[in-house]
C-alpha cells in the first residue's frame, strides 16, 4: 500500500510533469471510480499537488476568472498518477484531466484495485495527526504529549499504524524502523515511547549548553524511534536510485534492494491483531498474539513476481490450492479490509477441485475392466466372483 514517501513522490511528479502545462475542459471520470463527479470546467487551468501523510491534494487553478477546485486523494493499495497521450489511456484510469495541447495528453489517476478514492474540497481527512515527513516537530510533540492515550496500550507495531499519531507510516516502514532499532514489534508502545521521553529529558539536563550542531550530530549517531519515522521515509525520497519513479522500469528492483527487513529472506513474520503481517528479527515481544508460530521467509521465495510461470498440462495440476483462512477484520484502512474479503467463485472452484481424480493416469473404460475380469475367471476355471 502506498505510504507517505509514495504520496510525496507522486505530488512531486505531478508538479514536475505538469508545471508548465495548460489543461482545458472538464474532468472525466470512469463509471467505477470511487469518488464523486468533479464539477469543474475551464478553458485554461493549471494543476499543482501537495501531500500530507497518506493523502494527496490536487488543485485545479483557472488562468482566467473562476474559482479553483481542490480534490483530496487517498491511494488505497494501488493508486498513482500518470501523464499519458489521451489517445493511449492506461487501463483503470478513473479520473482524467486533459491538456490543451494538440494532440492532447491526460493526467490520469490510475488505480488497478479500485481501493483509492477522492473527495471534493481542500480539507485533509479529520483525525489524522501531523505528517511524519513535512511536520516532524509537530508530529513528535503530538506523540509525546499523548502517551496516556489508549492507542499506546497496544504493541508498538500496531501503534505505528495509527494515523492519529503516525500519519504516513504503513506496513513496510514500521518493519524497517523497528528492525533498525532492534525493538521487538510486540513490545508495549507506551513502554517504548516513555523510555524515549525519559532519555530526551535526561539528555537535556546533562548537556544544557550543547550547540545546535552538536545536538544534530548526536541525533544522527543515535536516532530514536520518532526520528526514524522521519528519516527512513526520507531515505526513500532522496535515494540516488529513484525507488518509485513511474518512468523507471527498474524501480521495483531498486526498492527491494533498499529494504532491510520487510519481505527479506531470513526474517520472521506474525500477524498483528488487525490482521496485518509484521516482519521482524529476533523475539517478537511480550504482547505477541497467542496461538501463532513465527514464520521465516525462505530465500527462494524472494523471486521476481513478474517471472513467467511454467506451463502445466497435467489434470491434477489444474486443481486450485485450498484457500487460506480469512484474516481478522482490519480496522486501520478500509481498503485493506476490502482486500481481505474472499472473491466470488472460489468455493465452486474448490468443489470442482475436490472432484478431480488423484492421479493423472486416465481410468480405463468400464467395458475394458469387465473384459479383463472375465478373462481371469476363464483362466481359473470360471470361478464365480465373490
- Please enumerate in sequence order all residues whose Cβ is within 8 A of that of 192, keeping only pairs 6 or more positions apart, or say none: 156, 183, 225
2 belongs to the catalytic site: yes
- How far CA 233 is from CA of 16, 102, 143, 182, in Å, comes to 20, 39, 18, 18
337 belongs to the catalytic site: no
Among candidate residues 3, 6, 333, 335, the one labeled active-site is 3
Residue closest to 139 by CA, chosen among 4, 29, 307: 4
Secondary structure (H, E, C), 4-41: HHHHHHHHHHHHHHHCCCCEEEEEEECCCCCCCCCCCE
Cell of 55: 493523502
Distance of CA 21 to the CA centre of its chain: 31
Among candidate residues 54, 155, 284, 335, the one labeled active-site is 54
Burial letters 52-72, b for 16+ CB under 10 A, else e: bbbbbbbebebeeeeeebbbb
**Beta-carbon neighbour count of residue 384 at 10 Å?**
5
Cell of 379: 483362466
Reading across the β-sheet that carries 268-271, which strands appear in turn? 277-280, 268-271, 295-296
β-partners of residue 269 are 279, 295
Among candidate residues 2, 5, 130, 155, the one labeled active-site is 2
197 belongs to the catalytic site: no
Pairing state between β 117-120 and 105-111:
unpaired
Nearest-angstrom CA–CA distance, 47 and 20: 9
- How far CA 48 is from CA of 70, 71, 95, in Å, comes to 10, 11, 15
Residue closest to 52 by CA, chosen among 168, 225, 156: 168
Q: Which residues are part of the catalytic machinery?
A: 2-3, 54
Amino acid at each position: 500500500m502506498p505510504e507517505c514517501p509514495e504520496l510525496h513522490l507522486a505530488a512531486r511528479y505531478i508538479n514536475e510533469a505538469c508545471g508548465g502545462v495548460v489543461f482545458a475542459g472538464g474532468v472525466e471520470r470512469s463509471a467505477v471510480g470511487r469518488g464523486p463527479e468533479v464539477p469543474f470546467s475551464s478553458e485554461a487551468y493549471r494543476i499543482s499537488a501537495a501531500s500530507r501523510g497518506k493523502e494527496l491534494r490536487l488543485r485545479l487553478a483557472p488562468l482566467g476568472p473562476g474559482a479553483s477546485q481542490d480534490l483530496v486523494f487517498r491511494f488505497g493499495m494501488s493508486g498513482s498518477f500518470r501523464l499519458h497521450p489521451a489517445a493511449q489511456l492506461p487501463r483503470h484510469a478513473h479520473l482524467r484531466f486533459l491538456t490543451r495541447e494538440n494532440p492532447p495528453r491526460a493526467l490520469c489517476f490510475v488505480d488497478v484495485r479500485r481501493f483509492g478514492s477522492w473527495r471534493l474540497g481542500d480539507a485533509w481527512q479529520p483525525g489524522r495527526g501531523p505528517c511524519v515527513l513535512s511536520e516532524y516537530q509537530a508530529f513528535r510533540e503530538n506523540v509525546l504529549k499523548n502517551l496516556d492515550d489508549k492507542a499506546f496500550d497496544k504493541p508498538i507495531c500496531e501503534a505505528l499504524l495509527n494515523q492519529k499519531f503516525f500519519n504516513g507510516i504503513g506496513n513496510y516502514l514500521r518493519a524497517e524502523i523497528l528492525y533498525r532499532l532492534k525493538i521487538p514489534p510486540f513490545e508495549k508502545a507506551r513502554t517504548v515511547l516513555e523510555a524515549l521521553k525519559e532519555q530526551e529529558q535526561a539528555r537535556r539536563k546533562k548537556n544544557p549548553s550543547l550547540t545546535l550542531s552538536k545536538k544534530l550530530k548526536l541525533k544522527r549517531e543515535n536516532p530514536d524511534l520518532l526520528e526514524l519515522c522521519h528519516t527512513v521515509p526520507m531515505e526513500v525520497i532522496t535515494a540516488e536510485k529513484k525507488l518509485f519513479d513511474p518512468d523507471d522500469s527498474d524501480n521495483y528492483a531498486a526498492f527491494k534492494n533498499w529494504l532491510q527487513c520487510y519481505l527479506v529472506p531470513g526474517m520472521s513474520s506474525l500477524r498483528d491483531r488487525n490482521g496485518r503481517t509484521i516482519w521482524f528479527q529476533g523475539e517478537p515481544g511480550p504482547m505477541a498474539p497467542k496461538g501463532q508460530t513465527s514464520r521465516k521467509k525462505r530465500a527462494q521465495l524472494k523471486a521476481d513476481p513478474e517471472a513467467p510461470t511454467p506451463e502445466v498440462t497435467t489434470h491434477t495440476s489444474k486443481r486450485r490450492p485450498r484457500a487460506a483462512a480469512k484474516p481478522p477484520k482490519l480496522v486501520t484502512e478500509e481498503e485493506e479490509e476490502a482486500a481481505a474479503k474472499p472473491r466470488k467463485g472460489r468455493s465452486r472452484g474448490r468443489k470442482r477441485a475436490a472432484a478431480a481424480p488423484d492421479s493423472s493416469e486416465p481410468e480405463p473404460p468400464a467395458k475394458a475392466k469387465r473384459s479383463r475380469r472375465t478373462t481371469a475367471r476363464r483362466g481359473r476355471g470360471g470361478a464365480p466372483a465373490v
